[in-house]
Structure 1
């Protein structure tokens, strides 16, 4: 009876974990295998080893292997645990087979043959309840495989729009992107009128990332194609650009930028709580560094405020997200956005004659 009860409990835990991973909304992560396996067991040693690689390209290549490998490992783990649960039940009902199951190994073999739908077993179920159990095992084996395939499509559907905006931000702000470079690009290409639409898109992007990445615990670990940027790096650059713009022009009509700032800060702080990260002391920008930023803001036409007032505003706005952003960059091993990007390539001067 104890083996039967243990098998049923293990089976329910596996099914709960699969359901949470595929349809995650409204369920607690307590007693779920996937979040624990990813965040507590596999990622810490993997990221620690990858951090020792000096080449940014090879570091990114190694880190990009993590998420796909974990997906495969999850499927194997789910199937093994479910097979073990059925094996415990079969061992508890050993006398209901012909011939009777005489060892735990044979019980596991019967279970694996059923779950993997191999259709080959030396042990035949005699009672109706065991026959139903074996048929249910075969069905669950198919469902487990289909669940991971469904999960992969859901992940791809979440990654593609995320990376599309990351590429757009890198195109505006360089690689890695910087907040000042984003503002300079809009200014140099006379695109001030398009900034509200850009920040509005960033606002929707933050909301979508917050929803999908909280729902699927593996999503934050998928890397960007560019080794010098990531979704966290891009978000930091966008928040820096908003903080610079609002700091220099606090009375301006920047509704979409303000909304993006609010949800971006919320996103960063929620993920530091999800990952249970310790926030570092926020690093402050020096007077000389901000002076260079202010000169860039002046040349780009964003200097409605004095330098001292702009600096005080920027520091105040930045204080709300910078510690969480640095903690996430360190945890996910991604680049920190620079204050300025001197390698940004813009269109060459064009002749009007």
Structure 2
């Protein structure tokens, strides 16, 4: 019995330590069927989604926004419990092989191990040399685990902060929710104001600004890929702002760069630079969404997602004319049937991936055409902010003070 306890405890402690190492230390995505984190996320996400479906839209979004931080905090005691339980089994097995008159009870061994893990160091007076040595090792593991958690949380939230800054940059450039066609239209609109907006080389300021922005967006996509592969829990961290998310941002970038790749006539030097930037940004963004889909065993991605032929069409043929009118004067022409067919083929390279992510994470994808009554988040006033931050009904004159929503 003692030998079995030692073997089981050693395996449990090693698996828990390896799981924590892979999740918090190793700077790459690890696919393993023996990770506790994998099964924890799948079970906890299923329960959390079921709970959110009992609420209305506002309550559902609030509950889903709590999942990421809560899951991160719950993983810490789970790892600690696995380490303490494994070491306690080893200690109990050693005592069973050492003591001849009687073995201490397992609850007492568990308490002693936990006290050593948190560096209290409670031990029996008759403890053997092996027991005291294991207590010192346990205390060292506890200190190392504490240092790991202290460094893990700031790293996670720094990656989240960098991701949010890239999301906010699209607010004034592409609207809320972000729209790829609107991103192109707004930058082209700058060059239609007057001759004073012409740059030193005779090219439009809007064209150069869009080229610079796509360069920054490419770097943001690369950071997104690196951080979410290293810390898959970030997939469940939702944006702090309404109508935007990391998925809607990267989808809007894919839509915009796909339009530029298909409809831009690269005749001038500035247009050729823009075409190159669009190609690089598209490649990086698609690389990100494809690789994030492949880490399904470490994240929340379901294996039974809808097949490609059943996914909804984000841009039906009936919207071709409206999209072409929106892009009129921007230098991007998709009115040609051949270019429209090329855009449809290009969309098949990334839309199935973002749609499956949206289906699993319960996020909304941005539209191809901006809603007619939509306004940017930066244009919101006190009423909108009160509704967003304090969850109160917008105040209207003559209705008295706003009331809190249940």
TM-score by structure 1 length?
A: 0.89
Give the 4+ runs in structure 1 shifted more than 4 A: 95-101, 344-348
C-alpha spacing 1:320/1:52, structure 2 compared with 1 (3 Å) = farther
For this pair of structures, how many residues does the alignment match?
Answer: 344
* Secondary structure in structure 1 of the residue aligned to 2:104: coil
CA distance in 1, matches of 2:101, 2:119: 20
Pick from 343, 354, 363: which aligns with 1:334?
363
Among candidates 233, 238, 257, match of residue 218 of structure 1:
233
Where does 1:286-301 land on structure 2 (aligned, <5 Å)? 286-301=316-331
- Cα 1:81–1:47 shift into 2, 3 Å: same
Aligned residue among 18, 28, 32 for 2:35: 32
Q: Deviations over 1:85-127 (max 9, x none)?
A: 1110121122658996431111111111111223334x24633
**Residues 84, 108 of structure 1: 8 Å contact kept:** yes
Distance 1:88 1:117 in 2: 19
Unaligned runs of 5+ in 2: 192-205, 297-301, 380-406
Mapping of residues 68-147 of structure 1, within 5 Å: 68-94=69-95, 101-121=103-123, 123-124=124-125, 126-147=127-148
Q: Deviations over 1:267-292 (max 9, x none)?
A: 21222222254344344432321210
Q: Is the 8 A contact 2:31 2:295 kept in 1?
A: no
Partner residue of 2:291?
270
Q: How many angstroms apart in 2 are the aligned matches of 1:27 and 1:237?
A: 26
Distance 2:227 2:378 in 1: 36
In structure 1, list runs of 5 or more residues that go unmatched: 349-353
Structure 1 position 6, deviation (Å)? 1.2
CA distance in 1, matches of 2:94, 2:343: 69
- Structure 1 window deviating more from structure 2 (174-183 vs 245-254): it is 245-254
Give the whole-Å Cα distance in 2 for the aligned partners of 1:20 and 1:240.
34
Pair 1:109–1:28, CA change in 2 (3 A): same
Match of 1:22 in 2: 24
CA contact (8 A) 2:171 2:376 kept: no
Displacement of 1:206 in angstroms is 1.3
Give secondary structure in 2 for the equivalent of 1:208: helix
Deviates more, 1:272-281 or 1:319-328: 272-281
The root-mean-square deviation of aligned C-alpha atoms, in Å, is: 2.5
Deviation, 1:34, is: 1.9
Contact 2:289 2:350 in 1 (8 A): yes
Q: Which residue number corresponds to residue 299 of structure 2?
A: none
Q: What does residue 240 of structure 1 align with?
A: 255
How many angstroms does 1:26 deviate by?
5.6
User: 1:324–1:26: structure 2 CA closer, same or farther, 3 Å change rule?
Assistant: closer
How far apart are the structure 2 equivalents of 1:345 and 1:25? 36
* C-alpha distance 234-113 of structure 1, shift in aligned 2 (>3 A): same
Tell me the equivalent position of 2:403: none
Judged with a 3 Å threshold, the aligned counterparts in structure 2 of structure 1 residues 235 and 26 are, in CA distance, closer, same or farther, namely closer
